[in-house]
């Protein structure tokens, strides 16, 4: 395992993945796609933490990744439940349809 | 190993691009799995094999599968794919893409311009240290994560229940009038 | 004994609070009991304190209740200082106040806003007591403004009549002119002495200022400004006749006996400052002399019973100012006390007449009331005699004669001032007995409904007695030589000695004063009773009628002020109708509204737009941090 991986390159990868996720959030109207995009962004953030942890040879980066993972799991389960509700109420997955802010 | 990293990175970026451009949700999810797997390889090259395993199991496994289940429940058809195509016009995505490109350029500039010391050899931080730290100084965080997961379960159950559609009485009157 | 001090003003305040809080739910009887009772208990405590004070003869009682506030070096406290001067004032305020309250329970019996009336009256009594018992000028100023407020509330008591509200505002605004001058005077005193404690200022002033120094004159004149406004003296006297719009007990208590004499109290209280500023003191005397003449002439021409009394009040306070101005401090205060008795009495009698005649105030519609209202007639006659200073028997003679004597013979004496005072005395007795003859003699013109009850007549009788015997506690040197009153005041206010040459002939001047007042009565008798044709022939001449009109309108001061101040002000405010300065702020509001519209557009519920907002914000923050 004694190889050299450029940290800049790894961080750039994280940045690019994050941006792709962000673009997707911005351009998609389908709520499920937005959820997927958020997962991509979370994953990219986790990658940045791992890179930092490796750079300093500390376990903290990996621990943050575990936390992010936990959070992502909880978020996706609640998010999917919400999506199911929205779909039942509105009969569509269009996020723009849910704009009347009334319960 | 370095080559492995670059190949995995390239795969990750490509597959993510594919994810965000697909019209069919299932196709997008398959690419997403590929993206997660590629990131897992990147983790491995960065000396975090345990995290690579978790990435595969939880992201590529649990989360994506969960989403697929939901999509199956929603009963997507070809019409939905068609509508997705209508929604994703260049006019829609050019603006956000430019903005994000600006943001990315700034991030790149920050990363490159930062005076980082030359990277040495990658030293693996193995699972033992992570576990020790996790149940040592971070024990509070672990407990909070447990609570968060519990809340997630309860919340998902509560929200996901199929309830009779309730319309507020005011709205009912209005719809009756309409 | 000292510990009871705070109760005196606190009780009326308590009464006012109770009446304000529960007034609408109380029965009239209960409201009257609270309103009269609080002042009555206060009067009893005053009596108790007074007995202690007179027997032990301490220099003063002092009680610090609590520290009011503390700002840097300025630590005024709620503290009461009771010396002989305040003693005289609180005695008059609580006793005369009590009698007037008692009278008011009958006078206002049919009034729906009964408890509001008594709440205001109690508040007034409390504020007035704070004014005269205050240990520092700030607390005095609190009382000063408090009585001003109550005056406003009570003049406008029948607020449904627009004229009453106008009179109330007029009183409030005109006195405010004087109050502003006084406030500036207080600022200067604080600037110079670093404290507003009255005793400290009085002690330090002679060391700080030479006699006639510029600062002393300025401060004294500013204080005089406040006194002039409150006491209805020239040039701020125009509010007092209009203030008669209030109920008659209010006129008796506030606009005759107590509040309007606050200016006299202020000058007497700060006498050291005035002694250090002879110019200002002379101004006081001149203001007093001119005012007493002007108001006297105006009183001659009024037909409204209460307006005659109002002008007479202005005139009598002019006498007090005259006394203070020539350094006859104790004489001024003595006249205040006697005046409070007989003027309250006259007002209350007037109120009884007005009530009996169904709110008829015009004297031309009265007449012949001597038979139908004997108690009111006799008491009114006693009050009138006292006001006209009929010699030997009335209290007014002794107090006014003292003033006249010192105006001539005192160290600040002056023949011109004396002449003005003497002429004033002549006019006073003319208008006083004009009032008596027009009201009580001749043929009756209005039906008398019912004679006044006990609660009205008893205060009248008590005040009538006081108006007679009150004078016997201070008799001239050559005539009994009783000096109880000036002895009482001697520790607080400096005495006065008459010039030697004149002193030998004091009786001559007393005779002169007596003759003038009797002459006035005779003139009134001649014109209004004996041969009214004489009056008619005078009235036929054009100049006399023009003069009559001029005096009737109070020497045209209202018109003068209207052209000098009101009209330019209205003109200017018409120019600035659109409010130039405010347009900037309205502009700001418009801009804020514009932004509001803009931002509420963004609140459209479309999730992607929100995310876009976050991205744009992130870009901006990153860009800024990179650029810096």
Cβ–Cβ of A4/B108 closer than 8 Å? no
- pLDDT tens readout for residues B75-85: 878 888 888 88
On the question of pLDDT at B35 being above 90, the answer is yes
Mean pLDDT of chain B: 84
Residue B114 sits at φ, ψ, to 5 deg, of: -65, 140
- What is the C-alpha to C-alpha distance for residues C277 and C539, in angstroms, rounded to an integer? 46
- SS3 state at C326: coil
Asked whether residue B106 is domain-assigned, the answer is: no
Closest CA to A68 of A86, A53, A84: A53
Run of H or E residues at C80? strand C77-82
Instruction: Confirm whether C420 is domain-assigned.
Output: no
* CA separation for the pair C377, C52 (Å, rounded): 38
Q: Touching C: which chains, 3+ CB pairs < 8 A?
A: A, B
pLDDT value of position A1:
45
Interface contact flag, B148 A4, Cβ < 8 Å: no
Q: Residues of B numbered 145-164 whose beta carbons fall under 8 angstroms of chain A's beta carbons: which are they? A: 145, 148-149, 151-153, 155-160, 162
Q: B108: distance to nearest CA of chain C, Å?
A: 12
At C138, is the secondary structure helix, strand, or coil? Answer: helix
Size of interface B-C (CB pairs under 8 A): 21
Choose the closest CB to C604 out of A29, A34, A99.
A99
In a domain, C584, yes or no: yes
CB B64 within 8 A of CB B36: yes
B12 with B71, same domain: the answer is yes
pLDDT band at B163 (very low <50, low <70, confident <90, very high): low
| Whether residue B80 sits in one domain with residue B19 | yes
Domain boundaries, chain A: 7-91
- Token look-up 């309409």 returns B178
What's the CA dihedral at B22, B23, B27, B28 to 10 degrees? 50
Write out pLDDT tens, residues B108-156.
888 777 766 655 667 777 888 888 988 989 999 999 999 999 999 999 8
Query: Are C287 and C228 contacting, i.e. CB atoms less than 8 angstroms apart?
Result: yes
Q: Do B125 and A59 touch (CB under 8 A)?
A: yes
Q: Which residue has the tokens 């983790």?
A: B43
How much is the pLDDT for C467?
86
Q: How far apart are CA C558 and CA C240, in angstroms?
A: 12
Q: What is the pLDDT of residue B17?
A: 93
Nearest to C96 by CA among C471, C394, C466, C469: C466
Q: What is the DSSP string of C353-422?
A: HHHHTTS--BGGG---HHHH-HHHHHHHHHHHHHHHT-TTT-HHHHHHHHHHHHHHHSTT--HHHHHHHH
Phi, psi (deg, nearest 5) at residue C136: -130, 165
Binary contact (B103, C626; C-beta < 8 A): no
The structure tokens 């509560």 sit at B158
C605 contacts A98? CB cut-off 8 A:
yes
> What pLDDT sits at residue A101?
58
Q: Looking at residue C538, what is its pLDDT?
A: 76
Q: Which of C430, C452, C460 is nearest to C521 (CA)?
A: C430
For chain C, the residue count is 628
| Secondary structure of C552-575 in HEC code, one letter for each residue | HCCCCHHHHHHHHHHHHHHHHHHH
Query: Minimal Cα–Cα distance from B56 to chain C, Å?
Result: 29
How far, in Å, CA of C549 to CA of C301, rounded? Answer: 8
CB contact under 8 A, C605 and A25: no
Closest residue by Cα to residue C241 from C292, C176, C308 = C308
Best of B8, B9, B98 to mutate (most A CBs within 10 Å, chain A): B9
Q: What is the mean pLDDT of each run of 10 residues along chain C (628 residues)?
A: 82 90 84 89 90 83 85 85 87 90 87 87 91 90 91 89 89 90 91 86 85 87 90 85 86 85 89 88 89 88 87 90 86 88 89 82 78 84 87 82 82 82 89 86 73 83 86 74 76 72 72 86 82 76 80 81 87 82 89 91 79 88 87
C608 touches chain A (CB under 8 A): yes
Q: What's the pLDDT tens digit per position in A37-74?
A: 999 999 999 999 999 888 888 889 999 999 999 999 99
d(CA C165, CA C246): 10
C-alpha distance from C610 to closest chain B C-alpha (Å): 12
Instruction: Establish if C445 belongs to a structural domain.
Output: no
Q: Measure A23 CA to nearest chain C CA, in Å.
A: 10
Yes or no, beta carbons of C615 and B103 under 8 Å apart: yes
Collect all residues of chain A within an 8 Å Cβ-Cβ radius of residue B102. none
Closest Cα in chain C, distance from residue A32 (Å):
13
CA distance C514 to C525: 17
In a domain, B109, yes or no: no
Whether B152 maps to a domain, the answer reads yes
CB contact at 8 A, C403 and C335:
yes
Q: Tokens 């005035």 map to which residue?
A: C274
- Please provide the DSSP assignment of C17-35 as one string: HHHHHHGGGS-HHHHHHHH
Q: What confidence score (pLDDT) does residue B166 get?
A: 66
Of C69, C92, C203, whose CA–CA distance to C138 is shortest?
C69
Q: Which of C284, C180, C295 is nearest to C240 (CA)?
A: C295
Tokens for B57? 């199991």
Domain range holding C604?
578-627
- Judge contact between C192 and C214, C-beta under 8 A: no
Q: From C605, which residue of chain A is nearest by alpha-carbon distance?
A: A99
- Show the domain range for B81: 1-90
- H/E run at residue C131: helix C114-133
What is the domain class of A7-91 according to CATH?
mainly alpha
Q: Within 13 Å of residue A47, how many CA atoms lie on the same side as its CB?
A: 33
What ipTM is given for this predicted complex? Answer: 0.90
Give chains near A: 3+ CB pairs under 8 A.
Answer: B, C
Q: Which of 74-133 (B) contact C at CB < 8 A?
A: 96, 99-100, 102-103, 106-107, 109-110
Residue C111's pLDDT is what? 82
**pLDDT above 90: residue A100:** no
Q: Is B168 exposed, middle or buried (0-12, 13-18, 19+ CB in 10 A)?
A: exposed
Number of domains chain B contains: 2
The answer for B 1-30 residues in CB contact with A (under 8 A) is 1-2, 5-6, 9, 12-13, 16-17, 19-20, 25, 28-29
Q: Which of C295, C236, C297, C302 is nearest to C263 (CA)?
A: C236
Statement: residue B164 has pLDDT above 80: no
The rounded distance, in Å, linking the Cα atoms of C135 and C115 is 31
Is C273:C196 a contact under the CB 8 Å cutoff? Answer: no
CB contact under 8 A, C607 and A22: no
- Give the nearest partner residue to A36 out of B13, B19, B129, using CB atoms: B19
Q: What's the gap in Å between the CA of C615 and the closest CA on chain A?
A: 9
Q: C517 lies in a domain?
A: no
Q: Before C135, cis peptide (omega within 30)?
A: no
User: B14 vs chain A: nearest CA distance in angstroms?
Assistant: 10
State which of B90, B109, B137 marks the end of a domain.
B90
Q: Please give the tally of structural domains in chain C.
A: 1
Distance CA C502, CA C513 (A): 15
Answer whether residue C592 is part of any domain: yes
| C622 close contact with A: CB closer than 8 A | no
């Amino acid at each position: 395992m004694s190889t050299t991986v450029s940290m800049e390159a790894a961080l750039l990868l994280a940045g690019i993945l994050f941006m792709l996720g962000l673009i997707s959030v911005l351009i998609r109207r389908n709520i499920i796609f937005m959820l997927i995009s958020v997962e991509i962004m979370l994953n990219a953030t986790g990658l940045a933490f791992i890179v930092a942890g490796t750079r300093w040879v500390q376990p903290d980066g990996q621990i943050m990744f575990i936390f992010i993972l936990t959070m992502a799991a909880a978020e996706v389960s609640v998010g999917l439940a919400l999506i199911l509700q929205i779909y039942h109420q509105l009969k569509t997955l269009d996020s723009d349809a849910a704009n009347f802010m009334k319960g | 190993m370095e080559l492995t990293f670059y190949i995995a990175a390239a795969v990750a970026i490509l597959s993510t691009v594919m994810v965000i451009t697909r019209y069919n949700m299932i196709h997008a999810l398959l690419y997403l799995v590929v993206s997660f797997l590629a990131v897992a390889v990147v983790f491995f090259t960065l000396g975090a094999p345990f995290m690579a395993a978790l990435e595969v199991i939880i992201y590529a496994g649990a989360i994506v599968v969960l989403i697929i289940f939901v999509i199956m429940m929603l009963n997507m058809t070809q019409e939905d794919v068609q509508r997705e195509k209508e929604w994703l016009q260049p006019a829609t995505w050019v603006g956000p893409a430019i903005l994000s490109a600006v943001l990315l350029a700034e991030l790149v500039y920050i990363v490159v311009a930062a005076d980082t010391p030359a990277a040495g050899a990658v030293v693996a931080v193995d699972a033992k240290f992570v576990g020790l730290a996790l149940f040592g100084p971070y024990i509070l965080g672990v407990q909070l994560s447990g609570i968060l997961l519990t809340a997630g379960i309860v919340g998902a159950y509560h929200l996901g229940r199929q309830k009779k559609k309730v319309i507020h009485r005011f709205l009912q009157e209005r719809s009756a009038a309409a | 004994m000292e510990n009871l001090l705070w109760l005196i003003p606190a009780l009326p305040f308590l009464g006012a609070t109770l009446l304000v809080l529960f007034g609408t739910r109380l029965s009239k009887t209960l409201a009257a009991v609270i309103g009269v009772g609080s002042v009555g208990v206060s009067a009893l405590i005053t009596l108790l304190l007074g007995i202690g004070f007179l027997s032990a003869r301490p220099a003063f009682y002092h009680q610090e209740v609590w520290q009011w506030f503390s700002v840097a070096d300025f630590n005024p406290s709620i503290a009461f200082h009771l010396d002989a001067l305040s003693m005289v004032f609180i005695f008059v305020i609580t006793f005369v106040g009590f009698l007037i309250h008692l009278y008011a329970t009958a006078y206002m019996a049919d009034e729906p806003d009964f408890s509001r009336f008594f709440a205001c009256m109690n508040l007034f009594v409390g504020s007035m007591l704070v004014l005269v018992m205050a240990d520092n000028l700030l607390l005095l100023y609190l009382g000063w403004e408090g009585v001003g407020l109550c005056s406003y509330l009570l003049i406008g008591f029948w607020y449904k009549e627009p004229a009453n509200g106008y009179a109330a505002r007029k009183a409030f605004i005109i006195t405010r002119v004087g109050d502003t001058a006084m406030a500036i005077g207080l600022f200067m005193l604080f600037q110079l002495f670093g404290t507003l404690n009255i005793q400290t200022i009085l002690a330090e002033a002679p060391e700080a200022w030479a006699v006639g120094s510029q600062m002393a004159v300025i401060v004294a004149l500013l204080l005089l400004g406040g006194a002039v406004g409150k006491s209805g003296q020239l040039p701020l006297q125009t509010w007092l006749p209009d203030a008669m719009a209030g109920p008659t007990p209010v006129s008796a208590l506030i606009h005759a006996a107590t509040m309007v004499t606050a200016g006299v109290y202020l000058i007497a209280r700060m006498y050291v400052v005035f002694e250090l500023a002879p110019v200002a003191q002379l101004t006081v005397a001149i203001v007093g002399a001119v005012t007493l003449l002007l108001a006297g002439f105006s009183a001659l021409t009024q037909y409204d019973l209460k307006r005659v009394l109002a002008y007479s009040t202005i005139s009598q306070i002019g006498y007090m100012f005259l006394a203070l101005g020539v350094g006859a401090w104790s004489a001024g205060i003595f006249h205040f006390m006697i005046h409070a008795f007989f003027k309250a009495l006259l007002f209350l009698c007037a109120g009884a007449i007005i009530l009996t005649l169904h709110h008829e105030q015009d004297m031309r519609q009265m007449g012949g009331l001597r038979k139908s209202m004997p108690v009111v007639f006799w008491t009114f006659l006693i009050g009138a005699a006292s006001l006209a200073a009929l010699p030997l028997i009335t209290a007014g003679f002794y107090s006014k004669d003292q003033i006249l004597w010192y105006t001539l013979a005192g160290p600040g004496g002056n023949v011109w001032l004396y002449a003005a005072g003497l002429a004033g005395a002549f006019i006073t007795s003319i208008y006083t007995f004009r009032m008596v003859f027009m009201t009580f003699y001749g043929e009756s013109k209005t039906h008398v409904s019912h004679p006044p009850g006990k609660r009205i007549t008893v205060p009248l009788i008590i005040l009538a007695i006081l108006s007679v015997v009150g004078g016997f506690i201070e008799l001239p040197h050559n005539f009994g030589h009783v000096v109880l009153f000036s002895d009482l005041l001697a520790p607080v206010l400096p005495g006065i000695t008459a010039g030697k040459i004149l002193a030998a002939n004091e009786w001559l001047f007393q005779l002169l004063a007596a003759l003038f007042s009797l002459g006035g009565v005779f003139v009134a008798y001649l014109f209004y009773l004996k041969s009214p044709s004489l009056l008619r022939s005078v009235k036929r001449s054009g100049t006399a009628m023009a003069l009559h009109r001029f005096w009737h309108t109070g020497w045209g001061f209202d018109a003068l002020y209207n052209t000098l101040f009101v009209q330019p002000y209205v003109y200017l405010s018409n120019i600035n109708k659109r409010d130039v300065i405010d347009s900037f702020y309205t502009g700001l509001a418009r801009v804020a509204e514009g932004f509001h519209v803009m931002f509420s557009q963004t609140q459209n519920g479309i999730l992607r737009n929100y995310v876009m907002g976050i991205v744009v914000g992130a870009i901006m923050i990153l860009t800024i941090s990179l650029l810096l």
